[in-house]
Amino acid sequence: MNMEIIPAIDLIEGRCVRLRQGAYQESTVYDGDPLDVARSFEEAGAKRIHLVDLDAARGSGSNLDTIGRIRRGVSCRLEVGGGVRDQDALERILDLGIDYAIVGTVLARNPDLVARWAAGDHRGERMLASIDARDGRVQVAGWQESSGVLATELARIAGEIGLAAVEYTNIARDGMLSGPDVAGTVEVARATSLPVILSGGIAATADTETILQEGQELQGFIVGRALYEGAFSLEEALGIVAAREDRS
């Protein structure tokens, strides 16, 4: 399986930002139109971009206009999360032509509801499970509350529901440039029938090598802050993956 590298764009009020451990008060705003950022990722070789509407996630607004502009401006696959707590929100995202809608809080709180959404019109093929955990337990409501559910158990449930994949974040690593939690993500991968994508903590090209060596069961990884702060380029990371695949 080819390892996917998925660059991330987090949105607040139409601007690119990055949070530290999900804390809105610890946000960094980056210059540049989000559409230009998305185009630069696509030009660098990204086949898929991860978008998060942080305003929708905390119930304080929406970035759907910006997301729609990005959809019209790039041809690569797009996935969108943040605030997908009812079927209307899910449909609004999918109706923009977004490839995947990401469900997190609603999956942890009401998996039966998500199962009903997934069952209609093969919609599960366009839905991803976002599992964000602290000390192995799933956090919800923009990472402000603990659900009490184990990440491995929710990953298993997501597989039974028939979603497309799981994206797992160790919140303690997110936005901290402290290195990825490969072992924890592999544990989640072993608990589910779905492909699993790692998120959080990637700080250097060496982390790409680590994931390739220790996370062979994973489908890919999401990277954000390291790209924005110039720790390495997307081209460099993609080159490492390509070289590894050429040797295998």
Output the six-digit token pair for 8. Answer: 């991330």
Residue 74 C-alpha from the chain's centroid:
18
Q: Distance (Å, rounded) from C-alpha 12 to C-alpha 2? A: 32
What are the residues whose beta carbons fall under 8 Å from the beta carbon of 35, sequence distance 6 or more? 66, 69, 70, 73, 74
Asked if 132 is an active-site residue, the reply is yes
Alpha helices by DSSP H, the chain:
34-44, 54-57, 64-73, 87-95, 105-109, 111-119, 151-161, 182-189, 205-214, 225-228, 234-247
Asked if 207 is an active-site residue, the reply is no
Q: Are 161 and 131 in contact (CB under 8 A)?
A: no
Burial 173-207 (b: 16+ CB within 10 A, else e): bbbbbeebbbebbbbbbebbebbbbbbbbbbebeb
* Length of the chain measured in residues: 248
Active-site hit among 53, 55, 132, 174: 132
Alpha helices by DSSP H, 22-165:
34-44, 54-57, 64-73, 87-95, 105-109, 111-119, 151-161
Q: Could you give the residue numbers annotated as active site?
A: 10, 132
